[in-house]
Amino acid sequence: MAMNADTIKRYGDELYQSLIACTPIDPLTNREPDITIEDAYQIQLRMIQRRLDAGEIVIGKKIGVTSKVVMDMLGVNQPDFGHLLSGMVFNEGEAVDTSKMIAPRAEAEVAFLLAKDLTGPGVTAEDVLRATECVMPCFEIVDSRIKDWKIKIQDTVADNASCGVFTLGGVRRSPRDIDLALAGMVLEKNGEIISTSSGASVQGSPVNSVAWLANTLGAYGITLKAGDVILSGSQSPLVPVKAGDSLYCAVGGLGSTSVRFI
């Protein structure tokens, strides 16, 4: 049975207050054992609405749970998505203040900037390539409003796919000039290599990931819009970060980006 509107509103408001106060809350799945993923998306929309009411605007979407490791951890076989808002974006070189987050973890990925709308269902990888203005290396610094990252898929979905903030690298290239599935990625933390991977670790290619998102959102009547930023899913492990840390990520054929934390 679907969760009632008052309960959805209550949890959405609770997650919003947690975000503002930087105070974690108990997992929703502990309190509502029957919560569905559909319920969780409704809670997410309430949390987003609170941010919109406070003056932010939606500037894109993020795809989460793209790697097999994270899917296995959460016991699911599909990714999830969240909304990117204007208050989340940092430019390259801007320091990220960890005191405004609860338990930040960084992941390296490829961001897409759309030149044309994408409306599912039926969107293919080719459609994504045609619709994309450019791609760039980026960092998503995820953060969980759920205490100690004790999350199931419904918890992270309700919590806007554990969105924190993100940084966009200054290097931009057309995805038609680079095979993102084969492009290698190297992630360094404080000068030490943490992980190496390729785009194939994300749904076979970050391009497939964006197609999945367009088709999934199409079922909800939502279109990916020209001008949207799309974070295509992590190609690295989740790396805990604190003040004083710095990260560097290089993507073969695309370039590099870095972020520092204060």
Question: pLDDT for 154-165, tens place per residue?
Answer: 999 999 999 999
Average pLDDT along the chain: 93
**What is the pLDDT at residue 79?**
82
Q: Is the pLDDT of residue 72 over 80?
A: no
Residue 70 φ then ψ, to 5° = -70, -40
Give the pTM: 0.93
Residue 2 CA, distance from chain mean position: 26
Range of the domain at 211: 5-260
Decide if 122 contacts 30 (C-beta within 8 A). Answer: no
**What is the pLDDT at residue 69?**
63
Q: Which of 146, 157, 155, 143 is nearest to 101 (CA)?
A: 143
* Residue 169: DSSP 8-state: -
Mean pLDDT of 116-123: 96
- Compare 77 and 134 and report the one with higher pLDDT: 134
In this structure, which amino acid lies at residue 254?
L
Decide if 65 contacts 76 (C-beta within 8 A). Answer: yes
Over residues 187-202, the pLDDT tens digits come to: 999 999 999 999 988 8
Q: Is the pLDDT of residue 66 over 80?
A: no
Name the band, by pLDDT with cuts 50, 70 and 90, for residue 67: low
Decide if 257 contacts 92 (C-beta within 8 A). Answer: yes
Please report, for the domain that includes residue 244, its CATH number.
Answer: 3.90.850.10
Mean pLDDT of 8-37: 96
Q: Is the pLDDT of residue 75 over 80?
A: no
Mean pLDDT of 48-71: 88
Number of structural domains found in the chain: 1
**What is the pLDDT at residue 71?**
65
Name the band, by pLDDT with cuts 50, 70 and 90, for residue 126: very high
Name the band, by pLDDT with cuts 50, 70 and 90, for residue 98: very high
